[in-house]
Amino acid sequence: MPAGDVLGNEANDLVAAADIGAEEAKRHTVDRSDSRLLHLVSRFGLLAALGLIVVAFGLIRPDAFLSVGNLQSTAVIAAPLLILAAGLTVPLSLGEFDLAITNSSQLSAAVMVTLISVFSFGWVGAVGVTILGAAIVGGFIGFLIVKSHVNAFIITLGAGTIMAGVEFAVAGGATIFENVPVGFTDLATRKLLGIPFPVLIAVAFAVLVYLVMERTVAGRRMRAIGGSPEAARLSGVRVGQLRGLGFVATGVAGVLAAVLITAQASSYFPNAISAQLLPAYAACFLGTTVFRSNIFSIGGTIVGVVFLSVIQDGLIIIGVPSWTAQIVEGGLLIIAVVGAKLASRSLT
């Protein structure tokens, strides 16, 4: 073959290789851009949706939705939900479920108000005794789960049923409102620096859980257990003790939520807290779609609580039937979690 033909073929091959390399580089650039976009959507999509919802409701009813009074009222109503969801974030980070948290909260409300109304306890003492009792019960539930090796779903479902029976035995299914002191009911209306007490209590509890989970050795070990219990055990982590502490956290959270709800109602009444179970879990799972994908965190849980509370408040203000809020919340939860899951898969 003549030398010119050989050189021509080599030149053509080099040009073709350069074209292939350019196409490959372009494809990798597009893939990286898509990955960045998916990463942003998976981390901040819920925040963007929250912003759009606030703007939409604000434009529809600016006089009502964006008023200071409505914002404060929404925050006060959301405070017990934030406490319950923050408490649930602990066992969820451990890879556990607690289905008894609202039953524990209901029982705590019955015991607390009975101590105040019937046995003439001071409200501070009644709250303290109830917190101690709930922490002990939560620890015992955790102990049963660890020692029996039975799924927490089953144990807490059974424990919640038992608590519902004990609650009925304590209160008889009746509303208790006699002799509830003003100092206790004032917790629902009192303010500090213009901020309602229920909001301060809820935020303080959420901050406490955040500090424990994110800034302590125990919190980091809890996350390690949630990632791989066996690996954590082999690393010397006391898995059983920390799993038990997760249920102590939900017990305490249940009491604090009961304090706020009974103070707002100035009484104990049956089933006041039971309906909060699914919204609390929804807030936690919505929270896994922000900041750190598929990881339970207090920051994410707070966003989830705000998201659900804003939707519920906005739908009420624009006059939508109450059952619509449940449909919307459930649908958005499924869309958000499934979307985050698909986005995280695309990133791997």
Domain boundaries, the chain: 45-347
For position 17, what pLDDT does the model report?
Answer: 47
- Residue pair 75/199 in contact by the 8 Å Cβ criterion: yes
List C-alpha distances in Å: 34 to 42, 288, 306, 343: 12, 21, 29, 10
Answer with the residue of higher pLDDT: 14 or 138: 138
Least confident of 6-15, 76-85, 88-97, 193-202: 6-15
What is residue 20's predicted lDDT score, i.e. its pLDDT? 53
pLDDT, greater one: 302 or 19: 302
Tokens of 285: 């799972």
Closest CA to 127 of 136, 139, 137, 114: 114
Q: Tokens for 263?
A: 């103070």
Residue 300: pLDDT band with limits 50, 70, 90: very high
Which residue has better confidence, 346 or 22? 346
Class of domain 45-347: mainly alpha
Euclidean distance between CA atoms 107 and 84, whole angstroms: 14
Q: Is 192 helix (H, G, I), strand (E, B) or coil?
A: strand
Residue 216: helix, strand or coil by DSSP?
coil
**Over residues 306-325, mean pLDDT:** 88
SS3 235: coil
Phi, psi for residue 176 in degrees, rounded to 5 = -115, 115
- Confidence band (pLDDT; 50, 70, 90) for 44? confident
Q: Are 315 and 60 in contact (CB under 8 A)?
A: no
Kindly tell me if the per-residue pLDDT of 18 is higher than 60.
no
Whether residue 7 is predicted with pLDDT greater than 50 in this model: the reply is no
- Report yes or no: 303 and 53 within 8 Å, Cβ to Cβ: no
Tell me the two tokens of residue 324. Answer: 């619509």
**pLDDT-based confidence at residue 209 (cuts at 50, 70, 90):** very high
pLDDT score for 232: 85
Query: Rounded to whole angstroms, how far apart are CA atoms 291 and 127?
Result: 35
Name which of 14-18, 122-126, 182-186 the model is least confident about.
Answer: 14-18
Q: For residue 179, give the 3-state DSSP assignment.
A: coil
Q: What is the DSSP letter of 268?
A: B
pLDDT band at 30 (very low <50, low <70, confident <90, very high): very low
In the structure, what pLDDT confidence band is assigned to residue 227 with cuts at 50, 70 and 90?
A: confident
Q: Are 298 and 205 in contact (CB under 8 A)?
A: no
Q: Hey, is 120 helix, strand or coil?
A: coil
What does the block give as tokens for 261?
């709800």
Report the C-alpha gap between 243 and 90 in whole angstroms. Answer: 9
